[in-house]
Structure 1
Amino acid sequence: MKLVKPKKHLGQHFLKDLQIARDIADTVDLVPELPILEVGPGMGVLTQYLIPKNRPLQVVDLDTESIAYLNETFKELEGKVIEADFLAMDLNELFDGKPFVLIGNYPYNISSQIFFKMLDYKELIPLCSGMIQKEVAERIASKPGKKAYGILSVLIQAWYDVEYLFTVSEDVFNPPPKVKSAVISMKRNKTTDLGCDPKLFKRIVKATFNQRRKTLRNSIKLVLGKNSPITADPIFMKRPEQLSVAEFIDITNRVAKELANT
């Protein structure tokens, strides 16, 4: 079976370092026993270390050539290789609707979309780990007050405990990407209810960070539609990157109350 040719339009960069591959695969051990879904397996550099874990395993890839290679190379995966667009999948249909661990060497061009989908299925995904662009990993793991802190930071950290595990050089890929990579782990925290309207929370986070140079007093008008007495509070003089998840929740409740009174 000939090797799969990396395809630029799919964002494919195949990892060559087997020790790094093993280390990434071992991140699933943080939540043992549950089934595993691998996104973008390519030629199976992670898959080969996931199979021996003896857990239900399915892999999904959009690349027909990769699908053929996996079916030919890994007989253990018979009936478990899915040719599909992960972003378009109904994840409730996997593993009989049971929770599972999500892992992958995620395509850099859609990694943020993958994690937004993870949030949509957060009750099914207690752990998501894998390799992404270093810059995106830094954003997800960033704390308030840092330049990298943004929409992904707040929305993911509201539901997951994030750990930036290690950086990966561009030299261990074929072809080498133009950026460094990083391995990250996101484990569901104990939050079951944010204590606010989650849709309004998401709307406020996006609205304020989309105008991150403005104070909340100005950017929150996009949600309130006007000047409001609540913005006289000193917290609204802050910029979004200065606010913790808890403060965004508090602001969401204040805005919700104001909207209900109009």
Structure 2
Amino acid sequence: MTGFPKKRLGQNFLIDPNILRKIIAVISPKPEDIIVEIGSGRGALTDLLVQSGSEIHAIEIDKDLIPELQMKFGSFPNFHLWNDDALKFDLSSLSKPNSRLRIVGNIPYDITSPLIFKIFDNIAIVQDVTFLVQKEIARRITASPNSKDYGILSVLCNYFTIPKLEFIVSPHVFRPAPKVFSAVITLAIRQIDSDLEFRKMLIKTVKTAFNQRRKILSNALGIMLKERGTDDCPIDLNRRAEMLTVDEFMDLSQWFMRRESKPFSL
């Protein structure tokens, strides 16, 4: 039915005007901004974004919500509506010279990690991110080494961005109300000097290390180490992935890249 949240799409519509205003204050949209809103829902946040004068691109996968969004905002010249899957949408089609994208949205749990990785793939055209996500994910993104929440998202978000947990959001401000608390996070994109091949190696190293997070690195990275040997490794391989800082993962990834072109004997 039109306008009703769909469980299969992870829809929980934000309805509290005070929280909406707080999110807008965090985003601080400017008329010269290009803002991509992921999952516009019934347009509660969209309304405030459109009023800012920014160029708004609303991506909504639910075709039943498109007529309502078009009726509410279709007359605004700065509003553009896309009935599409954000994970498949070509973000580069919206970028302009000297104007990077600002990505915002109330993000369903199931697509939060894939969406963040999609942003990493488009890092050169993104300025920043403001997401409303489950509190659990916000804690993972902002976690420090040697904590239970520290993992793949923690390392990679801290490499590509400067993450910040802005504020916690109660379940009671959504319809339907979820069973868990949420949080607003911001990701300010870092100016990364590394090339694409290094970024691919870093992602592979981090994912492989944490896929067996309770094992020491010599075991967790077994396949990668077997291909390259272990001599001159800058990291103590008797440590676990959760103990390494972002810089240490960078050192390990650079070592892997050097070893790819260097012959070794087992």
Give the TM-score normalised by structure 2.
0.90
1:26 to partner: Cα distance? 2.5
Distance of 1:41 and 1:134 partners within structure 2 = 20
Counterpart position of 1:47: 46
More displaced stretch, 64-73 vs 204-213: 64-73
| Matching residue of 2:60 | 61
- Conservation of the 8 A alpha-carbon contact between 1:163 and 1:184: yes
Structure 1, 105-114 or 30-39: larger mean CA deviation: 30-39
What residue identity is the alignment partner of 1:116? F
| Pairs within 5 Å for 1:5-44 | 5-29=4-28, 33-44=32-43
Change (3 A) 1:35 1:227: closer
Q: How does 1:137-216 map to 2 (within 5 A)?
A: 137-193=138-194, 197-216=198-217
Shift of 1:229: 3.4
CA distance in 1: counterparts of 2:92 and 2:57, whole angstroms: 14
| Equivalent pair of 1:160/1:188 in contact (CA under 8 Å) | yes
Question: Do 1:13 and 1:176's aligned partners in 2 also have CA atoms closer than 8 Å?
Answer: yes
Distance 1:33 1:258 in 2: 46
Q: Distance in 1 between matches of 2:185 and 2:73?
A: 26
Deviations 1:27-47 (A, max 9, x none): 222888321010101011111
> Is the CA contact 1:195–1:249 (under 8 Å) kept in the aligned structure 2?
no
Q: Is the 8 A contact 1:104 1:129 kept in 2?
A: yes
Partner of 1:81: 81
1:192 deviates by 2.5
Report the AA paired with residue 130 of structure 1: F
Distance of 1:35 and 1:28 partners within structure 2: 12
Unaligned runs of 5+ in 2: none
Q: Residues of 2 paired with 1:214 and 1:189: CA distance?
A: 31
Question: Any conservation in 2 of the 1:158–1:245 contact (CA below 8 Å)?
Answer: yes
1:260: how far off? 2.1
Take 2:92 and 2:55, find their aligned partners in 1: how far apart are those partners?
A: 15
After TM superposition, the structure 1 stretch with the greater mean CA deviation from structure 2, 225-234 or 94-103, is 225-234
| Equivalent in the alignment of 1:90 | 90
Structure 1 runs not aligned, ≥5 long? none
Q: Check the 8 A contact 1:60/1:82 in 2, yes or no.
A: yes
State the identity as a percent.
33
CA offsets 1:151-172 (integer angstroms, 9 cap, x no match): 1111121110000011111111
CA pair 234-39 structure 1, distance change in 2 beyond 3 A: closer
Q: CA RMSD in A?
A: 2.3
Distance 1:117 1:207 in 2: 19
How many residues are paired up? 261
Deviations along 1:166-215, one digit per CA (max 9) or x if unpaired, are 11111111111121111000001233327972111111100000010011
Look up the equivalent residue of 1:209 and give its one-letter code.
F
TM-score, normalization by structure 1: 0.92
CA offsets 1:114-165 (integer angstroms, 9 cap, x no match): 1010101111111001201111111111111111111111112111000001
Deviations 1:49-78 (A, max 9, x none): 111211111101000121111111224446
| Alignment partner, residue 220 of structure 1 | 221
2: CA distance, partners of 1:223 / 1:32 = 48
Partner of 1:136: 137
**Would the alpha carbon gap of residues 230 and 31 (structure 1) be closer, same or farther in structure 2, given more than 3 Å must change?**
farther
CA gap of 1:241–1:47, structure 2 versus 1, over 3 A, is same
Offset at residue 259 of structure 1 (A): 2.8
Aligned residue for 2:154, secondary structure, equals helix
Contact 1:58-1:77 at 8 Å conserved across structures: no
Amino acid of the structure 1 residue aligned with 2:13: F
C-alpha displacement of 1:222: 2.2
The match for 1:103 is 104
CA displacement at 1:250 relative to structure 2: 0.5
The Cα of 1:227 is off from its aligned counterpart by 8.4
